Amino acid sequence: MDLLARIPQLLVYGIVSGSILSLGGIGVSLTYSILGFSNFAHGDTMALGAYLALALLPAMASLGIGGASLGPLSFGWDFVMALLFAVVLTSLAIVLLDRLLFRRLRTAHRITLMIATVGVALALRNALQFVWGPQPHYYSMTIQRAVQVPALGIRIKPDQVFIIAAAVLLTVLLHLFLRYTKLGKAMRAMSDNAALARVTGINTERVILWTWILGASLAAVAGILTGLENKFITPELGWQMLLSIFAAVILGGIGSPYGAIVGGLVVGISEEVSTAFLSTGYKPAVAFGILILMLLIRPTGLLGRRT
C-alpha cells in the first residue's frame, strides 16, 4: 500500500528528470538524423554547459546583474544570464569542434565517427576534471522547500516546475522552428535524405552548422537544469546520463526529435518509479533494460521510421 502511495510522487520526479533527458535526447536525435552518426560526446557537452554556467555566475555580479531570487524560484537573473551565456559558449565550442574534427570526417565511415566522438567525450570530460577537479561543485547550498499539492497528493518544488516549463517551452519552440522556418524544413529534408538535399541545392553545411548549434544549446540547458535539480555537478554528470539518454532516443526512435521527447519522459518516469522496487544504484540498469527491450522488440522505436 505504501508503495502505491509513493507512485504519484515518483511520477513527478520522473517527469522532471524525463524533461531533462528529453532536452538531451533531442540533440542526439538531430545529430543522428542529419549527420548520420551517434554522438557519444553529447553527455559531456551537457556537462560542459553546466560548468560554464557555474563559472559565469560570479561574472554576472560584476556586470551588475542581481542575484535576488525570482519569486519562488531559488535563483535570480544572474543565473538566467549565466545560463544564456553558457549556452552560447557551449554552442561555439561544439561548432569549433565540428570545424576541427567532424567536418574533415564528413565522408568517413559512421563507426569511425562514433569512435571519434568517444574520444571527444573522454577528452572533454577530463578537460572539465582538469580545470575543476573531480569533486562536486554546488550550484546552490540552500535547500528549496517543496510545495504541497494536496489535490494530486504530491510535493513539488518551484524549481522543478521551472524545469518542466523550460523543457516544454524549448520543445514548442523547436517544433515551431522545424515546422515553419526555411532552415527547419531544410533540416527535416536533410534528415529524410541528405543526398537529395545536396542535389536540391540546400546548403548542407549551413544545415549541419545549425544542427550542432541547436543540439549543443539544448544539451547545455539540459546540463544546467541537471545542476539546478541535483544542486551539484561533477565532470561525470554527462557520461552518467548518456545511457539513459540513448535509451530515451532509441525508445522514441533514433532520428526523431519528437521521439526523443516521448522517450525521455518514459525513461525518466521508469527510472524514478523503479526506485520503489529496486535500489537506486540500479537506476542505470533500468534505462539499460528499456534499451535492450526496445532493441529486441522494435528497434526503430515508437516514432521512428526507416533507418
195 is a site residue for another protein (CB under 8 A): yes
Judged by CB, which is closer to another protein: 62, or 107?
107
123 is a site residue for another protein (CB under 8 A): yes
Judged by CB, which is closer to another protein: 62, or 307?
307
Sign of CA dihedral 184, 185, 189, 192: positive
- Relative to beta strand 147-149, strand 154-156 is antiparallel
Q: Quote the least distance from Cβ 48 to another protein, whole Å.
A: 14
Q: Quote the least distance from Cβ 163 to another protein, whole Å.
A: 26
Return the C-alpha cell found at 171. Answer: 520543445
37 is a site residue for another protein (CB under 8 A): yes
Q: Round to whole Å and give the CA distance between 221 and 53.
A: 9
Judged by CB, which is closer to another protein: 85, or 246?
246
Q: Round to whole Å and give the CA distance between 150 and 198.
A: 56
Return the C-alpha cell found at 120. Answer: 571527444
Sign of CA dihedral 7, 231, 129, 90: positive
Contact in structure between 97 and 48 (CB atoms under 8 Å): no
- The separation between CA 297 and the C-alpha centre of its own chain, rounded to angstroms, equals 25
181 is a site residue for another protein (CB under 8 A): no
Alpha helix segments (H runs only) across 36-157: 42-62, 77-100, 110-132
Q: Which stretch binds another protein (CB under 8 A): 55-63, 129-137, 258-266, 270-278?
A: 129-137
Q: Which stretch binds another protein (CB under 8 A): 12-20, 54-62, 156-164, 237-245?
A: 237-245
Measure Cα distances from 42 to 27, 145, 211 in Å. 8, 32, 13
219 is a site residue for another protein (CB under 8 A): no
Q: Round to whole Å and give the CA distance between 107 and 123.
A: 23
Question: With left for phi above 0 and alpha for psi between -120 and 50, is residue 247 left, alpha or beta?
Answer: alpha
Which of 107, 143, 277, 280 is close enough to bind another protein by CB under 8 A?
107
Which of 55, 93, 101, 276 is close enough to bind another protein by CB under 8 A?
101
Q: Quote the least distance from Cβ 3 to another protein, whole Å.
A: 22
277 is a site residue for another protein (CB under 8 A): no
Q: Quote the least distance from Cβ 210 to another protein, whole Å.
A: 14
How many residues touch another protein under the rule CB under 8 A: the total is: 61
What Rg do the C-alpha atoms of the chain give, in angstroms?
19
CA angle 169, 174, 177 (to 5 degrees): 125
Q: Which stretch binds another protein (CB under 8 A): 54-62, 76-84, 107-115, 217-225?
A: 107-115
The binding site for another protein (CB under 8 A) comprises: 37-38, 40, 101, 104-105, 107-108, 110-112, 114-116, 118-120, 122-123, 126-127, 129-130, 133-134, 182, 185-186, 188-189, 191-193, 195-204, 239, 242-243, 246, 250, 254, 281-282, 284-285, 288, 291-292, 295-296, 299, 305, 307
